[in-house]
Amino acid sequence: MKIFALLLCFAAALLSSAPAAAKPNILIFYLDDMGWAQPGCYGGKMVPTPNMDALAAGGMRFTSGYSSGCVCSPGRVGLMTGRYQARTGHDANPTKAGRELLLSETTIAQHLKAAGYTTGIVGKWHLGDTSPEFMPTARGFDFAMGTVGNLGEGKGPAFYRGKDLVEDLASAPITSPVYARESVNFMEANHDKPWLLMLSFNAVHSPHVASEKWLEKFKHLPKHDAAYAALAAEADEAIGTVMTKLRELQQEENTLIFLISDNGGAYQNAEMGGLRGHKWFVWEGGIRVSWLAAWKGHIPAGRVSDEPVIQLDVLPTALAASGSIVVPPLQAV
């Protein structure tokens, strides 16, 4: 598969400039329902996104980045397993028993945990919560907290921490600042070992809620646009908080970073860059997504590529970077 080979060789190029014994941290920012052209680095005008833009400036921005799913959970199945969700019948969200991520599937956390990584997920799970064996701590994550699904979805507990379901979270339904703090704490606690951290935002999925300072900043916009813009800006701020801590810990040069949206935009005014369709459709607007990769000192800064990539590529690339799988020679492509 050309895309798979491309990303493996991409990883090989990264590893060629790193010490053989080094195991880079893996940091995944996963946005929810963000339109392909929402970040400023993709041409977005509605919301300043300085921290997403900084990742693009410091790494590689892919203009043909895709998700294998046009809705939330299928895309997450693909990211977690590196396999098309249709292989296991996960073409819809897990709204009832029997729709969970199959226990026969191996997650990126399980792969990297076996390679000596400490693993964490902060934020939206949405891969099944009907019993403990389907929750993150049973799927390879040492640390886990966030929402079991979408905010305001269902009648049961909305949040999880470790193995436990909890009814609510302080500041909910505003979650991005909480997720930033939890991510920073995870990084500080594990700074002396290789780690995987997936920061899986609720933003910019509805409900469109944000802290007052961000609502005030966008009060010049129509009411619904203002709420959406504030939500996006607060998520960008959370990315900045995590990146600041990464630099304080002097780990930016040893961290492979991805920033991807799970599918196309859902909000009627999400910036789509002229693409046809949106979330729920397999036209370009539903499956083409913002897709960034950065690793200071390894990925050349400021690169823009039109090569097709997909969220399925994250797992094999992370495993290649960690030394967990053999990378084919560059001339093989």
Query: Is residue 50 domain-resident?
Result: yes
Partner residues linked to 288 by β-bridges? 66
Query: Is residue 141 domain-resident?
Result: yes
Predicted model pTM: 0.93
Query: Is residue 17 domain-resident?
Result: no
Query: Is residue 14 domain-resident?
Result: no
φ, ψ for residue 198 (rounded to 5)? -110, 115
Query: Is residue 18 domain-resident?
Result: no
Number of domains in the chain: 1
Query: Is residue 81 domain-resident?
Result: yes
Per-residue pLDDT, 10: 57
Dihedral of the alpha carbons of 46, 169, 164, 125, in degrees to the nearest 10 = -10
Query: Is residue 331 domain-resident?
Result: no
Structural domain including 124 reads 2-7+27-94+107-195+204-325
d(CA 175, CA 79): 22
pLDDT tens profile 111-123: 999 999 999 999 9
**Average pLDDT value for residue range 160-170:** 88
pLDDT tens profile 289-321: 999 999 999 999 999 999 999 999 999 999 999
Kindly report the three-state secondary structure assignment for every residue of the chain: CHHHHHHHHHHHHHHCCCCCCCCCEEEEEEECCCCCCCCHHHCCCCCCCHHHHHHHHHCEEECCEECCCCCHHHHHHHHHHCCCHHHHCCCCCCCCCCCCCCCCCCCHHHHHHHCCCEEEEEECCCCCCCCHHHCHHHCCCCEEEEECCCCCCCCCCCEEECCEEECCCCCCCCCHHHHHHHHHHHHHHCCCCCEEEEEECCCCCCCCCCCHHHHHHCCCCCHHHHHHHHHHHHHHHHHHHHHHHHHHCCCHHHEEEEEEECCCCCCCCCCCCCCCCCCCCCCHHHHECCEEEECCCCCCCCEEECCCEEHHHHHHHHHHHHCCCCCCCHHHC
Q: What is the CATH number of the domain that holds 215?
A: 3.40.720.10
pLDDT tens profile 121-156: 999 999 998 899 999 999 999 999 999 999 987 666
Query: Is residue 19 domain-resident?
Result: no
pLDDT tens profile 73-109: 999 999 999 999 999 888 877 767 888 999 999 999 9
